[in-house]
Amino acid sequence: MARHKIAVIGVGKIAQDQHLPVIDASDAFELAATVSTRGLSHNGLPAFRTPAELYAALPDVKLVSICTPPGIRHQYVREALAAGKDVMMEKPPTTTISELDDLIAEARKRGRVLYQTWHSQFNEAVDRTRAILAEEGVSTLRIDWRESVRKWHPGQDWVWEPGGFGVCDPGINALSIFSKIMPFPVFVQSARLTFPANRQTPVDVEITFKSDQKHAPQLSAGFNWLEESGEIWTFSILTRAGNTLLLEGGGRRLSVNGELVVEHGDHEYGAMYAHFARLLDGKKSDVDAAPLRLMSDVFLLGARENGPEFEW
């Protein structure tokens, strides 16, 4: 079967680390062009400065994958849908719930496929955790999501601007796992957000969640962006059946009562593109707003504190 011609919009860190190599290796997709404000091309393929230039020059390219920061994404996705394209978009989907709702409605109205991705959900260890919690319930759950902004977003000033999410940019990956594995609805009860005094987004966040469960499970999360010792992307869970689950490595390793149950490498983006191909075949969209809703609630309810200034 012919491969789908696709263009990547925004040739930054995640496009270069994941999207372009995964498309290069894919049986289902063929890169046709890039859109880059800096004019970056890939493998000598055409590079356009704006999406409009791409749509005018290569009308037979029917798919785009939008890898820009979230602030521009609503405009770019709307423009792509209006041009008749099916769209895959990076996380966090948009900067507001209203924008995401608008894109869902717009894709439906135009009969286009909209795939809003959450890469951390594509891990077998996450699926195994979900299955165990569905069976055993949750007594306590603690999320620790700590990494270095200097390593993962080197020099990216947009992360510190309003709408840039700050440490909630990686933190929303944790919430995408959380909303997938929890066997009952969860809500933000309270939050504390610490902002560098010279920046507009938080560097450290502590969250307490609540639920409708009579046994009042203890649910909390802590995100930090100044961890230089390596990544700590961990869920520590005690089930109601008394088993202790440790989901580590951003969802790639699960131990139960200290025994390793599943461990695997990084297949997230390959699995996401395979899922996109299935959505295209079935002409179905896939948008999960739950992680963005929870994160928005953190910003709505959170108490603000100022911390030390941040410089790269």
Closer by beta carbon to ligand NAP, 116 or else 129: 116
**C-beta of residue 35 within 8 angstroms of C-beta of residue 6:** no
Least separation in angstroms between residue 228's CB and ligand NAP is 16
Q: Which of 91, 151, 180, 283 is catalytic?
A: 91
Closer by beta carbon to ligand NAP, 62 or else 73: 73
Residues near ligand NAP, by CB under 6 A: 10-15, 36-38, 40, 67-70, 72, 90-92, 119, 152-153, 156, 169
Least separation in angstroms between residue 149's CB and ligand NAP is 10
Closer by beta carbon to ligand NAP, 238 or else 271: 271
- Which residue lies nearest ligand NAP, judged by its C-beta? 12
**C-beta of residue 199 within 8 angstroms of C-beta of residue 310:** yes
User: Is 91 one of the annotated active-site residues of the chain?
Assistant: yes
Q: Which residues pair with 210 in a beta bridge?
A: 187
Alpha-carbon gap, residue 291 to 293, rounded angstroms: 5
Q: Which residues pair with 130 in a beta bridge?
A: none
Alpha-carbon gap, residue 76 to 78, rounded angstroms: 5
Choose among 258, 27, 243: nearest CA to 140.
243
Helix (H, G, I), strand (E, B), or coil: what is residue 41?
A: coil
Least separation in angstroms between residue 177's CB and ligand NAP is 14
Least separation in angstroms between residue 132's CB and ligand NAP is 26
Closer by beta carbon to ligand NAP, 88 or else 254: 88
**C-beta of residue 145 within 8 angstroms of C-beta of residue 171:** yes
Q: Which residues are catalytic?
A: 91
